[in-house]
Structure 1
Amino acid sequence: MGPAFRRLLPYVLRYRRRFAIGLTCVVITTAIQLVSPWVLKYAIDDITRGATRQKLALYAALLVGVASVGAVFRFLMRRILIGASRDIEYDVRNAFFARLQQMPLGYYQARRTGDLMSRATNDLNAVRMMIGPAVMYSTNTILMFVVAIGIMLSIDTRLTLIALLPLPLVSISVKYFGSAIHKRFESIQAQLSDLSAVVQEALAGVRVVRAYNQEPHEIARFKAANAEYVRRNRVLIRLQGLFYPSLTLFLGFGAVLVLWLGSREVIRGRITLGEFVAFNGYLVMLSWPMIAFGWVTNILQRGMASWKRMLEVIDAVPAITDDHVTEAGRAAPLLGAIELRHLTFAYPGSGAPVLADVSLTVSAGQTVALVGATGSGKSTLISLLPRLHEPPPGTVLLDGIDVREIPLAALRGAIGFVPQEPFLFSDTIAANIGFGVHDEAPENRMRAAAAVARLDKDVEAFPAAYDTVVGERGITLSGGQKQRTALARAIMMDPRVLILDDALSAVDTYTEEEILARLRAVMRQRTAIIVAHRVSTVREADLICVLDKGRIVERGRHDDLVAHGGLYAALYRKQLLEEELAAS
């Protein structure tokens, strides 16, 4: 029993009662199947001695009765065992998704979405087949094989041994082909993940594809991935095409020998005609376990390969957890005072630090703006506060407590985060605004948040107003509307800390001024951190910090920084010139 199989056992053991009942039905079904040739044996021998209408009716009724009872238990067997496998599939899918939800941003940046989707669908289905149909058929085939051979031995030992002559060849075939199928299936699943990733990227980036007229390139990329997937499947098909016929061929040799030698035994009177018919009936039954054994082996090899791929995700250890939470962190009121102490941060696998020796103190209720060139570390800095990336110990504090010591649920519940690229779900505008609120909030609160984000005017023009479905990733909304919806979502949470990461970049200057005027009242009640490229967005901030190459090189209020004549002043003058040129 390998470690991968042991990891599957807890899911199976939850339904051990149903498996016990289902396997009992398998035993009864197999027993009823094995009764039919024995009834036929007595019928032929009895009718050979003297046929009557009563005997024919009796044996016909017996055979129909056996078949009917067998059908009932066969139905129960399939319903119970395959039903249990569906429930296990449900549990595994939940565990898989729950683990994905615990993984940090860095995990997804290193993996393709299509690959994860393939594991959650195709691989999971292969695992279900392994723990449902494979268990059912393997139990059925083993029982039938053992009992059928026992009955055949009781009829004629010599004939049974002759019938089993091809068995070593069957075993060798199963061992060789089973290993080869396992390797090929792992290769196929890996390619299917790549194919899914190509499709996912092409559909997610459909606007870019259209804009750059790259449809032929994407079609060619998909064709190449699809051709490789077909090629790998053809290799597997060739293996399976050899596997099953080889089993049938070996069993056919045994059947020919039995037919030839068995008929001679009947002629010599060593066995009766009924016994010979029954023997052949059991031999035919024996053929199914041999072939089914190969099919089950195939399913088991596929299922185990897929389960190992799923375990790579399920057993992945989240890099950001509540392992360092303290009692002080649990009891912290989280008022919004932020402190950075000599913060130096580099992404895993990257040598150069993105932030270097950053120190900053933000009082509760203060508004701080971060400005700087692209790549200066602004977005990285604000992502460390809600622990979207893990900061070094003792470098990021909220109300004097290391953020690593505060439970993630409490920490992120106290922070309203509007990312640089807003993401909307395929749901109504109201549902998207209320996404961060666990309890159902009153509608007037949702409308007030939308009004602050200056979304109310746009929504009123929609036919269904706040019940308008925005489509996948908010595709039916403009860039500015998406940003304002994301802003309303953050305001709706009523957080102690509000973080805006260039959240108004897609909004025109006039609308930006309206939103900022309304936001000032909101930001007075909480700590706010604003990342922006426009000076107009940050000029009213209590403190402006200028980042350059991961360091804070300037800090102060707008007028002081302009008078200082540094990077901020240069940025301010540049934007003034751009505005004058645009006006002229």
Structure 2
Amino acid sequence: MKDLAYLNKFFYKYRWRFIPGILFVIISNIFGVLPAQVIQISFDLVSENITVYRLFSGFDRQDVINEIFGYTLMLFGAIVLMLALLRGIFLFFMRQTIILMSRHIEYDLKNEIYNHYQKLSMAFYRRNNTGDLMNRVTEDVSRVRMYLGPAIMYTINTVVLFIMIVAFMFSVNAKLALYSLLPLPLLAITIYFVNTMINNRSEKIQEQLSALSNFVQETFSGIRVIKAYVREDDVREKFDVESENYKSQSMALVQVQALFFPLILLLVGLSTIITVYIGGIEVMNGTISSGNIAEFIVYVNQLTFPVMSLGWVTSLIQRAAASQKRINEFLHTKPEITSPRSQAAAISGHIEFKNVSFTYPDTGIQAIKNISFEVKPGEFVAIIGRTGSGKSTIANLLMRMYDTDSGEILIDGKPLRELDLNSFRQQIGFVPQEVFLFSDSIKNNIAFGISAPDQETIEAAAKNAAVYQNIVEFEKGFETLIGERGITLSGGQKQRLSIARAIIKEPQILVFDDCLSAVDTRTEEQILNNLGRVMKNKTSILIAHRVSTIKNADKILVIEGGEIMEQGSHRSLMSKKGIYFELYEKQLLEEQVV
């Protein structure tokens, strides 16, 4: 329960829903218990009136007694109906307060988790998979809501109803009360164990359903590969295996449920039989009336559902505690990257790396070692190197997705850690190596980084990214919807849309992380020419693996094994006949062979 204590702040926030909810539970149970006493009185009245009716046999008064008796029964029936109606009204109010409170808390908790997710650093997302993140904000929160609503509501209802009924039963006859309640603990224990079995098997079904869903999702995502390799039959066989496992788990659950309800009815029936038998003995002894037996039978049946719900409620609380523990793990996770409380300021684009080293915390791989370089405002700097040499790490550190292990990064002479992070990132256009497009229109994907852009600005960005002609050829143009992760577009089109999304911001610093790999040489040259015009007097950093892409850069950094091995202009590096020269010659030879 200590994990669920985190939710106490929400109970306080919605106390004016929670407290009236408890009052409505109490009032509804009062109206629920009173009909049993009305039934007891009516049963005794029936017994007495039958005796009186027989005494007046042969007299005119017999018809009057019969008429009065009929009106009296109708009155008692009307009272029972009225009490049931009043109970129903307060049950409605109970749900409108407690259940609605749980929905409000669910809403607040989901927003709190989602907002916290957005504050966490990139390292967090490298450590945790997307499915787990989704489960904690959906499935786990739903389980917590079941504790906040139904579990609390039925717990309060059970406690109040049990106290009331037991008090009334013992006030009538203690012996009959003890015998009548005797099977109920056995019923509660049985329900608890059977319900535990049901929950365990339900968990296995959920796990198998998750595995089945993941398999289907992965199959649909990779359908082109499956068809290309003609593996439809093999995939179908694997699906049959997963589906068969799901069916087996479901059948196991049905078998337990088939035993569950007959067992409950047996124990409830046993309690009723004991009540009638012991009650009959007490009637013969003269300690109670026949109406009290009917009253006790009503009480026992009223207690049946609350006792049945104990096992279910206990299970709900256990599952909610486990889910809240998982939620708390993330909510208590502190972001590695935090923005200081500093004033937002415009940047000119002067970048300086001073003896920067960085090791990825989740893998322990040292990506860069003691790197130092300077980029002056308005310069076009290129970074080239083999795969895994640390090029993308420099871009991530510049965007402050991670903080350096040692050394520091200066922006306009100020340490990057001291800048307002949101303001800084708003002035940077970043095109990542792995292009991500949202399942939205082309227009909205390009305009993602700014608010309320006009169509002319969007089209200008598309033209500068050399993707305008491709867009207008689509049937719906800029309103064309992009499939999941941009699946409806080619690799080059996705990269150019990502470039358009970056340059529409008119950033002071533009960072390209190897985002021209899927673009042909002619289109690449067109994009670079457009960027030269758009980014005039602004800082540009281009990470690439083709020398032809970067040879016009003001400065080229050659990265090898996380270190800068060479730096300078294309001409100066070629004259050194070092790593850059060898790389250029090798790529030139490959182009000639092709």
SS for the counterpart of 2:449 is coil
1:400 aligns with 2:413: yes
CA deviation string 1:510-550 (max 9, x = no partner): 11111111110122231111011122211111001111111
| Residues 387 and 491 of structure 1: CA distance in aligned 2, closer, same or farther (over 3 Å) | same
Deviates more, 1:192-201 or 1:490-499: 192-201
**TM-fit CA distance, 1:320:** 1.7
Quick one: percent identity of the two aligned structures? 40
**TM-fit CA distance, 1:194:** 5.6
SS for the counterpart of 2:448 is coil
Residue of structure 2 in register with 1:454 after alignment: 466
Deviates more, 1:31-40 or 1:213-222: 213-222
The 1-side partners of 2:348 and 2:559 are apart by 26
1:85 aligns with 2:102: yes
1:555 aligns with 2:571: no
The 2-side partners of 1:225 and 1:566 are apart by 56
Aligned residues: CA RMSD = 2.7
Query: What is the TM-score normalised by the length of structure 2?
Result: 0.89
- Which residues of 2 match residues 7-22 of structure 1 at below 5 A? 7-22=6-21
Residue of structure 1 in register with 2:179 after alignment: 162
Structure 1: any 5+ residue segments left out of the alignment?
none
| Residues 301 and 326 of structure 1: CA distance in aligned 2, closer, same or farther (over 3 Å) | closer
Residue of structure 2 in register with 1:359 after alignment: 372
**TM-fit CA distance, 1:149:** 0.6
1:28 aligns with 2:40: no
Residue of structure 2 in register with 1:100 after alignment: 117
1:274 aligns with 2:255: no
| Residues 23 and 240 of structure 1: CA distance in aligned 2, closer, same or farther (over 3 Å) | farther
The 2-side partners of 1:119 and 1:372 are apart by 40
The 1-side partners of 2:304 and 2:132 are apart by 40
1:336 aligns with 2:349: yes
Residue of structure 1 in register with 2:477 after alignment: 465
| Residues 317 and 186 of structure 1: CA distance in aligned 2, closer, same or farther (over 3 Å) | farther
Residue of structure 2 in register with 1:75 after alignment: 92
1:480 aligns with 2:492: yes
| Residues 206 and 406 of structure 1: CA distance in aligned 2, closer, same or farther (over 3 Å) | farther
Amino acid at match of 2:121: P
- Which residues of 2 match residues 265-304 of structure 1 at below 5 A? 265-304=282-321
Structure 2: any 5+ residue segments left out of the alignment?
50-65
Residue of structure 2 in register with 1:502 after alignment: 514
CA deviation string 1:263-284 (max 9, x = no partner): 1222343211112111111111
Residue of structure 2 in register with 1:41 after alignment: 40
CA deviation string 1:78-109 (max 9, x = no partner): 23322221221111111222222222223222
**TM-fit CA distance, 1:579:** 2.9
Amino acid at match of 2:16: R
Amino acid at match of 1:156: N
The 1-side partners of 2:357 and 2:585 are apart by 31
Deviates more, 1:93-102 or 1:535-544: 93-102
Amino acid at match of 1:430: K
- Which residues of 2 match residues 363-402 of structure 1 at below 5 A? 363-392=376-405, 394-402=407-415
CA deviation string 1:176-229 (max 9, x = no partner): 678777877777766666666555544444444444445556556666666667
Residue of structure 2 in register with 1:54 after alignment: 71
Q: Which has the larger radius of gyration?
A: 2
The 1-side partners of 2:104 and 2:156 are apart by 20
Residue of structure 1 in register with 2:422 after alignment: 409
**TM-fit CA distance, 1:371:** 0.6
Query: What is the TM-score normalised by the length of structure 1?
Result: 0.91
**TM-fit CA distance, 1:118:** 2.5
Residue of structure 1 in register with 2:549 after alignment: 537
The 2-side partners of 1:405 and 1:371 are apart by 29
| Residues 24 and 277 of structure 1: CA distance in aligned 2, closer, same or farther (over 3 Å) | same
Does the aligned pair in 2 maintain the 1:185–1:302 contact within 8 Å? no
The 1-side partners of 2:273 and 2:387 are apart by 80
Deviates more, 1:77-86 or 1:241-250: 241-250
CA deviation string 1:355-404 (max 9, x = no partner): 11111111111111011111111111111111122222542221122222
1:511 aligns with 2:523: yes
